[in-house]
Structure formats: structure tokens, C-alpha cells
Structure 1
């Protein structure tokens, strides 16, 4: 009886892990933009909409494995066009007065040079 309980708990844990992993993979967005450089606060890409208007998309984090293929901290890639896939996470931070503020944190999860 104890073995069945341990086995059931293990399978439930694996199921929950797969479920949360699949949810993370589905919560991504892709856009095309021209790399505009790296600042302390993130990686900047210039995106152009259908009307020809440009705006800057700043992504705060990048998957470490991508930095091995694309050294975005180096200025050599500035001006290159990329297909950028990123995930969004809502993070709650407290300010110095103790008030909570929710912010969106964007993480680059895939890059393809165009």
C-alpha cells in the first residue's frame, strides 16, 4: 500500500511538472526587429509596425545558452535583423514604502538571425 502511495505521488509530481512546462512553452511571443544594443536594463530591438512606425522593444533577460550563439553584449550585432521569441513573466516587487507593484519581465527564449 505504501509503494502505491509513493508511486502515485511521484507520477502526480511528474504530471504537474509537464503541465507547468507546457504552459511556459505556450506563453511566448515572436516578432522581427533590428538589434539596437544592450543596456544595463535589457536588450533593445527596433520593431516596425504595418504603418511604418518604429518603436523599441526592450527585453530584460536572455536564456544563457543563446548568449553562446549570439553575443548580444558585443556591438558587432547592432543593426542585424532577428526573429525574436520571448516569454513574459509577471513579477511582484515591493518598493521602499512596502507597496507591491507588478511588472512584466521579458526573457528572450529563441533568436534567429534573418
Structure 2
């Protein structure tokens, strides 16, 4: 139940970020690289069962946690995100968001956004 709450919280935060206005002068605000890719700068905050967490600044300069449920294998081959050595390191994160349908224990279907890191660059 805690995992579902954290995933749903991440989805809610991501939705707020995506639908808020973006200021281009904020170096940490989300940048739309293409129709399918988003870019943000953030500080790695570690790995949990539900995903990889990064602290980012939203368009208003407020720190939020952005969780990535998936990471492409090429990124994991380059950066050992399961290690604590990278915690508090700054990265430029290129990612995509995909919509998926999940079914809870009672059989109720709901849509969630899944964040996948496709490229990671150390800053």
C-alpha cells in the first residue's frame, strides 16, 4: 500500500510539473527536448523499491522529488544507481513519460504515468 501511495504521489507531482508554466531561465526546470523526451537537472537522492529518486526544482524554484520507475539498461551500465556513491551528485536527466494501466487488488483499473530515464549525464 505504501508503494502504491508513493507511486501515485510521484504521478501527481509529475502531472503538476508538466501542466505548470515553465520558465526557461530556471536551469532546473523541465525542458521539453522533443515530443517524446523531457530534460531536467537534478540531484540523485537514491533508489527505493518503487524507483530512482532525484531532487529537482520546479518552475517556481521549489524542490520536489521526481521518481523514475524505469531506467534503460545502457544508463545502468554507465551509472551504478543502486550504489550509494552517486547520492547527492548532480545530473542532467533525459527521460520519457508513458501511460500504463494498472489493476489494484480489488480489480479497479487506473492509469499511471511511468517515467523512464533514457539518458543520464553527470554535471
Q: TM-score, normalised by structure 1?
A: 0.73
Unmatched runs of 5 consecutive residues or more in structure 2: 1-33
Structure 1 segments unaligned to the other structure (5+ residues)? 1-24
- For 1:27, the equivalent position in structure 2 comes to 36
1:74 is the counterpart of 2:83: yes
Q: How many residues align?
A: 90
Q: CA RMSD in A?
A: 1.4
Give the distance between the partners of 1:100 and 1:76, measured in 2 at CA: 38
1:57 deviates by 0.5
* Runs of 4+ with deviation above 6 angstroms: none
| Greater Rg by CA | 1
CA distance in 2, matches of 1:97, 1:77: 39
Tell me, in whole angstroms, the C-alpha distance in 2 between the residues paired with 1:26 and 1:109.
14
